[in-house]
Amino acid sequence: MTQPPGYVDLRFPQHVCKLQKSLYGLKKAPVLGSTAALIQDVTRGMHTTFKIKDLGPLHYFLGMEVCRTGSGLFLHQSKYARDLLQRAGLEKCTSQPTPMADSSSKNGADTHFADITHFRSLIGALQYLAITRPDIQFDVNRVA
């Protein structure tokens, strides 16, 4: 570390500032590592302050499935998409190469839905799915 520009103390050029208060409520900066010893050390340190439970390797988090491969991690949302189809009652639908006509002049505004809250919930879930699926982003935003 070096002293910030404009606050350099010429009498003590090797000194740096000490934080009196943590930034953004963080007491310590996050520690990342891949060695088992480092991970165990961090886990032990957290266990002394918090009630934690080691759930093992990550498999599913926030709609993302995590598959470990020889070259790293593969993230996908297959389960999230299947669950979304089930919520919409479309689990037996067949896929189409183009889910919506490109030249359609209607955007569904004249369609009446029995439960608008359910419809909005599905659109929100589709927008979350579209973050990782650029192939459906146009269609999702069109019906939103």
At 111, phi and psi to the nearest 5?
-85, 135
pLDDT of residue 90: 87
Q: What is the pLDDT of residues 71-104, one digit of tens each?
A: 988 889 999 999 999 998 888 888 777 656 666 5
pTM here? 0.57
Ramachandran class of 60: left when φ > 0, alpha when ψ lies in -120 to 50, beta otherwise: beta
Most confident residue range from 6-10, 19-23, 109-113, 126-130: 126-130
At 48, phi and psi to the nearest 5?
-70, -25
Domain boundaries, given as residue ranges, for the chain:
56-92+114-144
> Band of the pLDDT at 14, cuts 50, 70, 90?
confident
Residues 6+ apart with CB under 8 A from 143: 100, 107, 108, 123
pLDDT of residue 125: 93
Tokens coding 90: 């479309």
pLDDT of residue 22: 57
Across 40-55, average pLDDT: 85
Q: What is the pLDDT of residues 103-131, one digit of tens each?
A: 655 545 555 668 889 889 999 999 999 98
